[in-house]
Chains A and B, each alone.
Chain A
Amino acid sequence: MARFGMVIDTAKCVGCMDCVVACKTENEVPEGFNRDWIVQDVTGSFPTLHMEIRSERCNHCDNPPCVYCCPTGASHVHDLGGVVLVDHNVCIGCKACLASCPYDARFIHPEGYADKCTFCIHRVEKGMDPACVSVCPTRCMYFGDVDDPNSVVSKLLASRKYHSLIPEAGTKPQIFFLA
């Protein structure tokens, strides 16, 4: 069975925010909210500074605390690719999932339910890439099956150094950032 993941080459990302705009347009994300966003992470001491630009979103964790804590089953793991989704008609807006996400990737949609990145599952089901991946002008984002050793994402993870976010939280995130 497929396990979808995303690989982002931070050496290519310029932080143009095309992915953010594409997501908002594709998913009709309301004004004032973001399903994905750009982070500029500067580390070191002058003059030896290092900057990494990352396009971040829900990590679609393999060990998703947001799914475990949900009292109604609204937050669930989709059969296709282990994508973490929210059923809007089952969510009561208790916000336990927002509290349990170490990445703060969720928000409350103005209509009252918890909302977040879906990996554009409606596009993926039709064989397309998520909107953010398809619009990236530097082609720094890759989407695919991390369990398939022949997929582009698996080959990149096998050949390049990478990291994920807050691995110490034990959530097994499925977004990987190439160094």
Chain B
Amino acid sequence: MQELTTTRHNDLVDPVLHIWGWEIPVYLFIGGLVAGIMIISGYFALKGQYKKNVFSSFYLPHISLILLSLGMFSLFLDLEHKLYVWRLYTTFKIASPMSWGAWILILVYPALWLNTLIRIPDRFKDVIPIFDRLSNRINQHPFLIKSIGTLNMLLGTLLGMYTGVLLSSIGARPLWNSAMLWMLFLVSGLSSAAAFVHLITSDRYERQLLAKADNAFLTLELFVIGGFISGLLTSTAVHIEAAHLILTGPFAASFWVFVITAGIIIPLVIQLLAVNNKVKHTPVAPIMVISGGLILRFVIVYAGQFSHYAHQALSK
């Protein structure tokens, strides 16, 4: 038996850490979604799909710019010392994933902007002449388009990885302290992005392609979640306890019902039927995938704050 009584009652810390509310899960979700969109639109740029008239790669980079700004705003809302946010860009701390993320985001914006110039949508043509001139220049040199596509895929991968590394580098929270977390968030981001393109596109080929890709991402995500959980269950006592928070503990219902069943398995079954022409493509499956991706971030961020080292005294 161990009974601890403490006089400490610090706000946001006691009785359990609850420093991060909705802002951080939303930021991590949007970061992963944008990362996935960058990888997909970069791939489309490499494959020359931008030449088609109805292809979503016209407007994916534009949507990404808006989404990323929303995500950054969400992160900004979480800061307690908001007027000092510029301090992030007065230094680079190599050991701090958050510092890496701040600088990666600075690189992501110009990469997305360059991506928008590959094909300016008709309704935006002749609005800003310099953009049209730059777009014409880029289109005269196919290697520039391939370079922009590659750059977007590379930075998208870094961004998606960063959203997981941000949490996994925090050793004090056993649930987050897993080398699988960056992979989970990257695959989940890719899956949400594929579902997002599937949802908004009007091109039949693209819808079919993204549904197939999403099926692969969802299957991979199941394996990564399996690896994430088995890694925790075969680790130390505090990691096993952390795994049980989502397997059987207070976050189990959200995890099993909304993340695994409604967010992965059901949409995977629907999309497998759809790509085999057994049922029609509908918005149901992609909406479930996107919702599952968002809830996954909430579950991991909240349960992670709940997990902690046992406050034990060991005599030497």
Contact = CB atoms under 8 A, between A and B. Distances in A.
B236 A168 contact: yes
A112 B311 contact: no
B2 A94 contact: no
Interface in B56-110: 78-82, 84-85, 87-88, 90-91, 93, 95-99, 101-102
A91 interface: yes
Given A71-B93, A167-B314, A102 B308 contact: yes
Contacts of B10: 32-34, 104, 107
B13 interface: yes
A74 B91 CA distance: 11
Contact of B309 (A71, A73, A102): A102
- Give the size category of A's interface with B: 35 or more
Contact of B19 (A69, A92, A98): A98
A44 interface: yes
Nearest to B87: A72
A164 B101 CA distance: 34
Given A96-B170, A99-B19, A169-B309, A90 B13 contact: no
Given A39-B6, A168-B236, A104 B17 contact: yes
B91 A72 contact: yes
Contacts of B17: 98-99, 104
Contacts of A89: 84
Contact of B96 (A32, A40, A69, A162): A69
B315 A163 contact: yes
- Give the size category of B's interface with A: 35 or more
Contacts of A106: 13
A41 B81 contact: no
A40 B8 CA distance: 11
A33 B1 CA distance: 29
B87 A162 contact: no
A109 to B, nearest CB: 9
Contacts, number: 173
Nearest to B98: A71
Contact of B93 (A70, A164, A168): A70
B78 A94 contact: yes
Interface string B138-164: 000000000000000000000000000
B307 to A, nearest CB: 11
A106 B311 CA distance: 16
A144 to B, nearest CB: 19
Contacts of B305: 99
Interface string B290-316: 000000000000000100111111111
A150 interface: no
Contacts of B97: 69
Contacts of A72: 84, 87-88, 90-91, 93, 99
Nearest to B10: A107
A65 interface: yes
Nearest to A43: B2
B79 A166 contact: no
Interface of A: 17, 20, 32-34, 37-45, 52, 54, 56, 65, 68-74, 89-96, 98-102, 104, 106-108, 111-113, 161-170, 177, 179
5 contacts: A33-B11, A92-B84, A99-B170, A100-B171, A102-B309
Given A34-B9, A102-B309, 19 more contacts: A32-B9, A33-B10, A39-B7, A40-B5, A41-B311, A42-B5, A69-B169, A71-B88, A92-B81, A92-B88, A95-B19, A98-B17, A98-B19, A100-B171, A102-B171, A163-B316, A164-B316, A166-B312, A179-B315
Interface of B: 1-14, 17, 19-20, 78-82, 84-85, 87-88, 90-91, 93, 95-99, 101-102, 169-173, 236, 305, 308-316
